[in-house]
Amino acid sequence: MKILVTGSNGLLGQKLTQLIQQQEGFELIATARGKSAIPITKGSFYSLDICDPASVGSVFAEVKPDVVIHGAAMTMVDQCETDRDACWKSNVTAVEYIVKACEKINARLVHVSTDFIFDGSHGPLDENEKPAPVNFYGESKLTGEKVVMESSLDWCICRTVLVYGITSDMSRSNIVLWVKDSLEKGKTIQVVNDQFRTPTLAEDLAMGCFLAAKHKAKGIYNISGKDFMSPYDIAIKTAEFFNLDKSLIKPADSTTFKQPARRPLVTGFIIDKARKELGYEPHSFMEGVALLAQQVASVSVK
């Protein structure tokens, strides 16, 4: 099976690139803007701008993948709120280009989406929950989902929540690294305690997307972690793991922070469907932090 990955230089994309290269019977085509951020030893890399229909069409026509895992997107929630044109171009118009290119070569599509399509009134949520976004990022991702659903493709949508992990060059932070770094420097931090998520290890999201491709899954699947936690819970658990001073962590509610985009308060996912139908089994949050710690240590040694 030939799998094309968009956004292969991003956090999810790097994990997918590493994972697919390890699988027998699968050929990787990694795509991203510019050059590949990590070595491709088994497969190929193509420079691709998802916002350029000519680029999308020509690469897809040349490599003719069996399935496309579309993980590239604009995900900075506040930036999406303030630069709506760029957000729409990346999260909706680009999806239209991807869908059209897939239809021309009869490729299947695994499309990555988000819990931010929901209003945050309750959770955890299953796949049948009715979307109602409270910010422009969520609106754009929901519209992207509709583009996929209304296509003639065999499609699968993998929704995820609060992804954490590290890229090869440590260029992207996340809540775990931010807490660790702040506490190591003796900084007092305020962390939200009235939002709830099921934080997702990037390796687990990559595995969920790969399993969806492998099993030719159709429909919507929740792909997230299994622990229902607030960011404050995450910070405390991180401090405990690294044996750092928990007293520096101060709880705060969402009204404390003034951000351009409103955040849904309670989401998180029920992942029973993915477990049963795809064999998806994520790490616990503490297992994820342990893996992250190993990776940070190995990068530091280099």
% of the chain surpassing 70 pLDDT: 99
Q: What span, in angstroms and rounded, lies between the C-alpha atoms of 67 and 149?
A: 16
The answer as to CATH 3.40.50.720 being correct for domain 2-168+198-228+267-284 is yes
- Residue 252 confidence (pLDDT): 97
Residue pLDDT, tens place only, 40-75: 999 999 999 999 999 999 999 999 999 999 999 999
Q: What is the pLDDT of residue 107?
A: 98
269 confidence band (pLDDT: 50, 70, 90):
very high
Q: pTM higher than 0.95, yes or no?
A: yes
**Residue range 114-133: mean pLDDT, rounded:** 98
Res 216: pLDDT: 98
Q: Which has the closest alpha carbon to 278: 219, 230, 234?
A: 219
Quick check: 302 pLDDT over 60? no
pLDDT of residue 176: 93
pLDDT (tens digit, 9 = 90+) per residue, 155-210? 999 999 999 999 988 777 789 999 999 999 999 999 999 999 999 999 999 999 99
pLDDT for 117 equals 98
Strand ranges of the sheet holding 67-70, from the earlier edge strand across to the other edge: 44-47, 27-32, 2-6, 67-70, 108-114, 155-160, 219-222
User: What mean pLDDT is reported for the chain?
Assistant: 96
Upper half-sphere CA count for residue 300 (Cβ side, 13 Å): 6
Q: For the segment 89-108, what is each residue's pLDDT rounded down to a tens digit?
A: 999 999 999 999 999 999 99
Q: Return d(Cα 223, Cα 215) in angstroms, integer.
A: 15
